[in-house]
Chain A
Amino acid sequence: MQMKNLFGHIGRMGYQFMDASIDFFRDISGLYHLTRATLYCTFVEPLRGKPNKWGPVWVQMEEVGVKSTAIVFLVAFLMGVILAFQSAYQMSRLGALDYVGALVGVAVTRELGPLMTALVMAGRVGASFTAEMGTMKVSDEILALETMALNPVKFLITPRFIALLIMLPCLTVMADVMGILGGYLVGVTTLGIDPTPYIDHSLESMKVKDVVTGLVKSGVFAVIIVMVGSYLAFIIEGGAEKVGQNTRTAVVVSMILIIIADLLFTSLFYFLT
């Protein structure tokens, strides 16, 4: 009897695992197909005589870009300040306090600027995408679009996709500037580093390539945020409860995917150069 229970238990666990993996692969395939449809609607259809409308794109650019500047500026600035403090503590023991600027500059442009901006935006914008489009799904608005012969992907996702693809790199550049500024202000005023060596060391260690790789990454992060947010909105069936759940899942999943993508790209750039 005991043995039978044990095998039953293992069997059930096996089935549960199988169900979970089937769900997982269904989501992966769904995400892939939605991304393909979005890329098609955004980049291929305009070439075939169905141009994108720019009105909704402007609205979304203001929504995701302009209105996010304050929080991105704040986070990036404070990040620069913290980074300067933390590195100064170690650098001063090596007698290389002047190199704080170089460290802050390289760390912000290569890594922390794009990453922190993407994470902030995953929380701010990804969540609002899922909540907004999920509510539309629940109240039949997406079905209404389809029956009006309007493609919901083109109508809802494309403007958001274009907007974030443009605005996230822009915000990343601003975050880079704010981070470096934060480090500079702390370095010069509190840590007692001379402005001239600070700037000199920063400029000689930062390369254009650092900024460019950061921007490439932020483009990828934009795709992740929009696609995960939209996918989790489009699969909602049911009511308000599911909208809440999927909004939370969208933020968590896009943050995880952003970190994984960051790792992949960083190692790629490391081995390429």
Chain B
Amino acid sequence: MIQIKNLYKSFGEGEKKTVVLEDFNADFERGKITAIIGGSGSGKSTVLKHLIGAYKPDAGQIVIDGEDITAMNAEDLNRVRKKFGIMFQSGALFNSLTVEENVALPLREHTDLNESTIRIMVKMKLEMVGLRGAEHLKPAQLSGGMIKRIALARAIALDPKIVFYDEPSAGLDPISIGVIDKLIMDLSRKMWITSVVVTHEIPSALRISDKIIMLFKGRIIAQGSPDEINNSSDPRVIQFIKGNPDGPIPFSKSQRDYGEELKEMFIH
């Protein structure tokens, strides 16, 4: 369904240049849930931004449903974008609109359905995420978990073939995480939706996904089924899954040696 081939991306120029993705290759199969895991700054959100066409890669191809989106003009890209839905980390609901208007927006803009059909479809989508009855609330009146569920309802409003999830369970309580996980699985298993989940919530990634890709410093260091990841012998994978503070993945983000830096400050 989606293939990413030899993707490279760096930000900045000259001395400040940082390579965010290096030779990223992945294959997301139809109807399967693929999780991309990794620590903060590992480049997993950058992969997602490339998939939705927000970033252009330095090199490489992204083929969605047989079409390379990296070489597309705005019009073609918009055509492809109608095939997928995205659930943002913050929800990104429109604060000036009610829940119903938020979910109805893609339907109103991209279909010729009449108003009563749209209302019925909105009701169905809200029932799927268990929030029927919240139609007339504004996003500011909703809790974090509810915002994500409404965002999911909006993402699937046009019955997309693909849904991208950006940190679907970040900042939620365990029950809300369970609800979101179940929704993602239901959508994938029952409606044959291809799901790409970017997350650092390891238990939920292990629970829901068919395939896990682990990123570290812009490179894939492991991929496979949840069992394979769980039984991996790579110390970096073990550290990330167990959440050990000590290990090959450093806690400190700074590039320079601590002693050197202190010595320099002392001399000046």
Contacts and interface: CB of A to CB of B under 8 A. Distances in A.
B88 A149 contact: no
B102 to A, nearest CB: 10
B81 to A, nearest CB: 4
A143 B110 contact: no
A147 interface: yes
Contact of A149 (B90, B93, B95, B110): B110
A27 interface: no
B54 interface: yes
B88 A143 contact: yes
B103 to A, nearest CB: 11
B92 A141 contact: yes
A148 B106 contact: yes
Contacts of B110: 148-149
A135 B90 CA distance: 13
B92 A149 contact: no
Contacts of A141: 92-95
Interface in A164-223: none
Interface in B81-105: 81-82, 84, 86, 88-90, 92-95, 105
Interface in A108-153: 135-136, 139-141, 143-144, 146-150
A141 B94 CA distance: 6
Contacts of B54: 143, 146-147
B78 interface: yes
B88 A144 contact: yes
B105 A147 contact: no
B124 to A, nearest CB: 19
Contacts of B92: 139-141, 143-144
A144 B90 CA distance: 11
A136 B53 CA distance: 19
Interface residues on A, range: 10 to 19
B20 interface: no
Nearest to A138: B90
Interface residues of B, number: 20
Given A140-B88, A143-B88, A144-B86, A149 B94 contact: no
A150 B54 CA distance: 13
A238 to B, nearest CB: 14
Nearest to A140: B92
A147 B109 contact: no
Nearest to B83: A149
B52 interface: yes
A149 B78 contact: yes
A139 B106 CA distance: 19
A148 B94 contact: no
A150 B109 contact: yes
Contact of A140 (B53, B78, B90, B106): B90
Given A141-B95, A143-B54, A148 B88 contact: no
Contacts of A146: 53-54, 81
A141 B54 CA distance: 13
A146 B106 CA distance: 11
B105 A148 contact: yes
Contacts of A139: 90, 92, 95
A150 B107 CA distance: 11
A143 B54 CA distance: 8
A146 B82 CA distance: 10
A144 B155 CA distance: 10
A269 B34 CA distance: 66
14 contacts: A139-B90, A141-B93, A143-B92, A144-B92, A144-B94, A146-B53, A146-B54, A146-B81, A148-B109, A148-B110, A149-B78, A149-B81, A149-B82, A149-B110
Interface of A: 135-136, 139-141, 143-144, 146-150
Given A140-B90, A148-B110, 13 more contacts: A135-B95, A139-B90, A139-B95, A140-B88, A140-B92, A141-B94, A144-B92, A146-B81, A147-B53, A147-B86, A149-B81, A149-B110, A150-B109
Across the A-B interface, give the 4 residue pairs with the lowest CB-CB distance, nearest first: A149-B78, A144-B92, A140-B92, A149-B81
